[in-house]
Structure 1
Amino acid sequence: MHFVTASLALNIIAGAALPARKALYYDIPPPPSPEPIEVIELPLPPVAPSLETGACTLDINPRKTGCIQRELGDYEFQAGDFSPDGNHIIVNVKFVGAPKAPDPASIYDGEQLILVKADGTTFNNGDTWKCLSCAVPEGQQKLLDPQRDYPHVFRSGDKALWGHNVLDCNGHQLASDECTAQDTHIYPIYWAVIQDGVEKNGAPRELRLHPDDIHFGWSSFTNSGGQNTFFGRLQFNANPETGNILAPRYELVDVNLLYDPARSQRLTAKGKKIMIHDDAIGIGELRGFSGTGDEIIYIGPTWEANNIDVSAIHVVTGVVRRLTEHPEYTDPIAFSVDNKWFVAMDTRGSNRQMFMSGMRHIPPLIDLITVTVASSTRNNGNRRFFQPILIDGYGDRGDYFGQQVNAEGDGSAGAVNDPNWNGRADPAFSHDGTKIVYWQAIVTGRECGGLNPLPCPVPTTQGQREYRLMLARLTSRTPQPVPPVFDVPDQLPWATPFPPGSNFPKDSQRLVAGSYTLRGRISGHAIVKLTSSTSDQSRGYDTVAVNYTNYADVEGYILNGWEKVTSTILLPNPWDTLVDWYSDIEETGVVSATKRTSPDGFHLQIDAVANIFNATGTLTTTINGVQYKQPANGT
């Protein structure tokens, strides 16, 4: 066991952080002190030596309750959240090596949903896990959807979200002995959309369950590589008559498009003057809900140049607040049920993004065309740099950037802070607030060995499994009561109703090509020029050039210099982007900092799906003499 007794040193430099924001809270308390955290690895079913039928032998599993595969694969392992009692965690696994039917052990085959004990006890058969979906009769899982990621337990404890399915145990708690395969039904989730005049099931992704067990949030890609986000209500239909899934199903109805045409852009123009809107609603990717469900958590427009953060918006009032501010990248996130804490998977501490985002309080102007590239550099293919960070509910502020949950350890192979083990989505709190669960994957494949200087590690897990399930106990805390869930309306006042067949509204606020001025909130100005390679200026732009003169949005952070970036999408792949970047910015006052490219510029090509860094030239940020350089190609 390993104990965390001090926070990770997450400050960039003394005084280099944004002062505490008071947009939502009138009296923000001082940051909490670090607390003790005990981190352990939880046991999973044993690993099969191969994928061959019968490879899961009695020697490996004497109870004949299944073996799982060693490799991670795509979404074949994923941890979810806790059961209401806090003693069980829901997990998606892939069983392999089962014997042929009619052997009773043949049911432990393929992608399945299990519960894992989190309290050191076992189920009645002696296992630390229980399969929820194995052996469910075919008639009780008609048209099971193959998408089975992001498992979540309903607050009621008798149902589970399993990708695009709902597993229902007929009123029994999932962890109880009464929840058997014979009592279980698995229903597909159906989102009615109209394509070419025909109703069919839509393509939601990363479904997130609202704490009220009734509403859902989700994202969905567009054909051009963009993304929209939605909110709707879950409704059971035992006898559907329309669409392409004619079986008992849970339907997403009363759908909201999370879009307000009056507040859609962080940057707008009035004449030739650019204005920055901190209350803009730009929900790029939905990441879940607050613990009581009063806020939607999302990744949206950047608040500072190249700094990808997580924001929250109130479901009724539409008030927006920024949750994270560290220059590194934040993505998966989960709140405690009382809203007092959240845990985020973040690259802070790795310095992965600092070469482009380390200089604070640069307005998000070049982000008009670079945001996809900035978000893509956080990974190196299958090597990720996320670690779990515990932050209080008020978020990053001042020099407070939270506490790394798994900071303590010697960094050796298999240690809780072994850098070769990368945090994945999603972490979660137990309902009483005393435990956190998260999972990790070890780097494999092209991202180690060969020309890449980083070595291929050998997993120390049972069977050399490439993934592990981690439990963090917040040992100084006492169990807290679960507060009431916020009564969220079906139609959010600031969102756009989106019944089947709706068209996406056109965005009239987006900046068009031209020359503009942005006045600093404290001093100075920036001259901004947006240009396009096409003659039709209304179709957008691919180059942003900015010249700063004594520009300051925050007292004591003064910018001078210039930056110019051109972005080219390398069709036919809408995710593959080339940026040609030139920068020479100096920041004075509280800090002495520069952000500079080499004389020939910085030229980065990166695929947002593959995340393989490949650049020529350099981009370097220096803060008080500390240099932050870009990753080496291929790393």
Structure 2
Amino acid sequence: MHLDSRAIGFGALLGAALAAPPPPDPEPFEIVELPLPPVAPTDAVGACTAEVNPNGTGCIRRDMTSQEFQGGDFTPDGNHVVANVEFVGAPADPDPLSIYTGEQLILVKADGTTFPNGDPWKCLSCGVPAENALSIDPQRDYPHVLRSGDKALWGHNILDCGGVDLTSDECTPNRTHIYPIHWPIAADGSGSGGAPRELRLHPDDVHMGWSSFTADGGQNCFFGRLEFNANPATGVPLVPRYDLVDVNVLRSPNGEPHLVTDGTEIRINEDAISVGELRGWSGAGDEILYIGSPLEANNIDLLAVHVITGAIRRLTSHPEYVDPASFSRDNKWFVAMDTRGTDRQMWMSGMRWIPPLIDIVSVSVAASTRNNGVRRFFQPILIDRDGDRDEYFGQQINGEGDGSNGSVNDPNWNGRADPAFSPDSTKIVYWQALVVSPACGGSNPLPCPVSTAQGGREYRLMLARRISRQPKAPASVFDIPDYIPWATPFPPGASLPETYSLEPGQYTLQGKISGVASVNLTADTQGLGGIGAVSVAYSNYSDRQGYILNGHEEVSREILLPNPWNNRVEWYSDIVQTGVVSGTKKTGPGGFQLEIDVMTNIFSATGTLTTTLDGVVYEQPANGT
């Protein structure tokens, strides 16, 4: 499927992108499912029999109940992919095969060949001696092979094969070491350290970016350097480990925020660096990819900021939701896991060029409704490095097929994080999970599909070959400094910079093309500080030529404590858009109320919010779907 504006009812968009080159033509893909270890019939001890796996190299879990499976990226030769799996059904210790149990890092053949024992996979972490894996961290997600080829980032650990490629027969358990990653945050270096999440390694194999939640439902992003500490004197664990040092918090101490009030005026600073969640790096490592403050109401997009200049590029602008993403090493393409093409978010974000004002209180809703519990609506979208522009919105990699059960474009198989390119940029690996109860079946009107994967497995690892593309050399790796000029140093013991806070009051926002928006910011009434409600009235307001807004919108938010992630919004909308698109964004007579936990993403609403664009009606999802 080649995604463009006409397919979703839009006219010519993004006049600011006229300087970008013409968009690429669609390209063909050859997509196959990569092999994984066989599925155990049950999780019981000894269930992985010789009949199930004659080679005695373990069996994996059928379902995603424990959410442990995760696909990774390629080794330097482009013929192998790493993945995190959960082995079950192994015999009890001291049977030699008992090593095939629990979460492990495996290597999967991506070229149709096998390892010497006949398996198309090899376990890298199974059987590593205890003395070689002291205090390894239980967080083992987002596996990533270092460009050196002899190490892998495995959650909060580094797996090291002692100078030998992970693909080599010489990479054996006795040679392998697994070291935990430690982030010292106390001034004296004591304690268990900080809690990083979703670590993303820079192409230089040394520097790292990550996100970290706050206790009050927020998140900050950081940048630092991995340093091996063979004999730590402080901090937990006191074992050989990698420390995160020379840490920066990705906030500018002097930069102007995204929304600024000045007297009776409010304005939007589109050049503000607002790294809300770090998603990775450009192919050369000169830009940080991130999800930041919306540039249009309810539209969550991927942006890139240059590590030296702080210059920002908006990579996606489609009204649907984007999150996981990865650049090709030649720095010419990126793959985004996106809900575009599913209409999942169009009921709230489909109307373009509404300024991001209600997002002050509604952004968590826009970031949460893209899922239904464990069901994602993501599919892999290939986009060139210049991003969405004009009528170009990329190409769904697995868009061709009949949509039948188990097909490559079966909508019941949902894309997950993270996709990845091969080093020569000719192959893309991504993984998917099948829709399962309670996201289907029972009281949910969506029927549950039957898995066509081996053993009824509820996840699969997919390889897309770019059959019309020739191999490309990786771009030169950017020489990134230890301290980013626009960021803030964050040594152990440091406090986070203060966050700019909008003041309650009545303000005016001038349209870039015409008109005005009257904005009322109301203080939070829960004692949490900040803004609790936003109302906006539009009068011939336009930020883009040919897109004119009239009407009003009002949203208030309540945090359902003690859970800081649980939000309830009350929403009233009656906006009319004229010009290039004739549209309305309206709530029903009683408005629209939605309660949603950011961590669970279960849609539960009363009332209605509907967007209509050129006669096409987009309605909210049914509760529980």
TM-score by structure 2 length?
A: 0.98
SS at match of 2:11: coil
Contact 1:194 1:200 in 2 (8 A): no
Q: How far apart, in 2, do the equivalents of 1:555 and 1:74 lie?
A: 50
Question: 1:531 maps to what in 2?
Answer: 522
Question: 1:223 maps to what in 2?
Answer: 215
**Residue type of the alignment partner of 2:17:** R
Asked if residue 618 in structure 1 is aligned to residue 613 in structure 2, the reply is no
Contact 1:512 1:530 in 2 (8 A): yes
Question: 1:411 maps to what in 2?
Answer: 403
Q: Where do residues 239-250 of structure 1 align in structure 2 (5 Å cutoff)?
A: 239-250=231-242
Asked if residue 596 in structure 1 is aligned to residue 596 in structure 2, the reply is no
Q: How far apart, in 2, do the equivalents of 1:457 and 1:85 lie?
A: 36
Q: How far apart, in 2, do the equivalents of 1:382 and 1:264 lie?
A: 37
**Residue type of the alignment partner of 1:33:** D
Contact 2:301 2:321 in 1 (8 A): yes
Q: Aligned pair in 2 of structure 1 residues 498, 535: CA closer, same or farther (>3 Å)?
A: closer
Asked if residue 461 in structure 1 is aligned to residue 461 in structure 2, the reply is no
Question: 2:547 maps to what in 1?
Answer: 557
Q: Where do residues 127-526 of structure 1 align in structure 2 (5 Å cutoff)?
A: 127-194=119-186, 198-263=190-255, 265-507=257-499, 509-526=500-517
SS at match of 2:364: helix
Q: How far apart, in 2, do the equivalents of 1:366 and 1:452 lie?
A: 31
SS at match of 2:15: coil
Shift of 1:169: 0.5
Q: Aligned pair in 2 of structure 1 residues 199, 109: CA closer, same or farther (>3 Å)?
A: closer
Asked if residue 544 in structure 1 is aligned to residue 548 in structure 2, the reply is no
Q: How far apart, in 1, do the equivalents of 2:23 and 2:215 lie?
A: 43
Shift of 1:12: 2.2
Q: How far apart, in 1, do the equivalents of 2:535 and 2:170 lie?
A: 65
**Residue type of the alignment partner of 1:333:** A
Q: Aligned pair in 2 of structure 1 residues 548, 251: CA closer, same or farther (>3 Å)?
A: same
Question: 2:8 maps to what in 1?
Answer: 12
Shift of 1:101: 2.9
**Residue type of the alignment partner of 1:17:** L
Contact 1:16 1:591 in 2 (8 A): no
Q: Aligned pair in 2 of structure 1 residues 535, 136: CA closer, same or farther (>3 Å)?
A: closer
**Residue type of the alignment partner of 2:517:** A
Question: 1:95 maps to what in 2?
Answer: 87
Contact 1:524 1:552 in 2 (8 A): yes
Contact 2:187 2:494 in 1 (8 A): no
Contact 2:345 2:370 in 1 (8 A): yes
Contact 2:59 2:88 in 1 (8 A): yes
Q: How far apart, in 2, do the equivalents of 1:199 and 1:632 lie?
A: 46
Structure 1: stretches of 5+ with no match in the other structure:
1-5
SS at match of 1:262: coil
Question: 1:605 maps to what in 2?
Answer: 595
Contact 1:359 1:623 in 2 (8 A): yes
**Residue type of the alignment partner of 2:90:** A
SS at match of 1:463: helix
- 1:545-573 CA-to-partner distances (Å, cap 9, x unmatched) read 00001111111101111001111111111
Shift of 1:261: 2.9
Of 316-325 and 190-199, more deviation after overlay is shown by: 190-199
Q: Aligned pair in 2 of structure 1 residues 422, 264: CA closer, same or farther (>3 Å)?
A: farther
Q: Aligned pair in 2 of structure 1 residues 68, 195: CA closer, same or farther (>3 Å)?
A: farther
Contact 1:16 1:360 in 2 (8 A): no
Q: How far apart, in 2, do the equivalents of 1:513 and 1:283 lie?
A: 24
- 1:7-62 CA-to-partner distances (Å, cap 9, x unmatched) read 2466422415322437xxxx421000000011111110000001111111111111
Q: Aligned pair in 2 of structure 1 residues 182, 533: CA closer, same or farther (>3 Å)?
A: closer
- 1:387-438 CA-to-partner distances (Å, cap 9, x unmatched) read 0000000000011000000011111110011111100000000010100000
Structure 2: stretches of 5+ with no match in the other structure:
none
Shift of 1:100: 2.2
Q: How far apart, in 2, do the equivalents of 1:154 and 1:106 lie?
A: 29
Q: How far apart, in 1, do the equivalents of 2:325 and 2:440 lie?
A: 27
Q: How far apart, in 2, do the equivalents of 1:358 and 1:534 lie?
A: 31
Shift of 1:533: 4.7
**Residue type of the alignment partner of 1:130:** K
Shift of 1:103: 2.6
Q: Aligned pair in 2 of structure 1 residues 196, 593: CA closer, same or farther (>3 Å)?
A: farther
**Residue type of the alignment partner of 1:531:** T
C-alpha RMSD of matched pairs (Å): 1.4
Q: How far apart, in 1, do the equivalents of 2:22 and 2:524 lie?
A: 49
Q: How far apart, in 2, do the equivalents of 1:525 and 1:248 lie?
A: 60
Question: 1:3 maps to what in 2?
Answer: none
Identity %: 66
Contact 1:144 1:186 in 2 (8 A): yes
Q: How far apart, in 1, do the equivalents of 2:31 and 2:417 lie?
A: 18
Q: How far apart, in 1, do the equivalents of 2:568 and 2:333 lie?
A: 38
SS at match of 1:90: strand
**Residue type of the alignment partner of 2:220:** N
Aligned counterpart in structure 1 of residue 17 of structure 2, from 7, 21, 37: 21
Contact 1:439 1:468 in 2 (8 A): yes
**Residue type of the alignment partner of 1:605:** E
Contact 2:188 2:492 in 1 (8 A): no
SS at match of 2:367: helix
Q: How far apart, in 1, do the equivalents of 2:250 and 2:210 lie?
A: 10
SS at match of 1:446: coil
SS at match of 1:200: coil
Q: Aligned pair in 2 of structure 1 residues 197, 333: CA closer, same or farther (>3 Å)?
A: closer
Q: How far apart, in 1, do the equivalents of 2:151 and 2:188 lie?
A: 35
Contact 1:523 1:550 in 2 (8 A): yes
**Residue type of the alignment partner of 1:388:** P
Shift of 1:197: 9.1
SS at match of 2:131: helix
**Residue type of the alignment partner of 2:395:** Q
Q: How far apart, in 2, do the equivalents of 1:42 and 1:264 lie?
A: 47
SS at match of 1:284: strand
Question: 2:43 maps to what in 1?
Answer: 51
Asked if residue 576 in structure 1 is aligned to residue 566 in structure 2, the reply is yes
Q: How far apart, in 2, do the equivalents of 1:198 and 1:467 lie?
A: 40
Aligned counterpart in structure 2 of residue 632 of structure 1, from 598, 622, 625: 622
Contact 1:302 1:308 in 2 (8 A): yes
Contact 1:201 1:245 in 2 (8 A): no
**Residue type of the alignment partner of 2:8:** I
Q: How far apart, in 2, do the equivalents of 1:293 and 1:220 lie?
A: 21
How many residues get paired?
624
Aligned counterpart in structure 2 of residue 41 of structure 1, from 19, 28, 33: 33
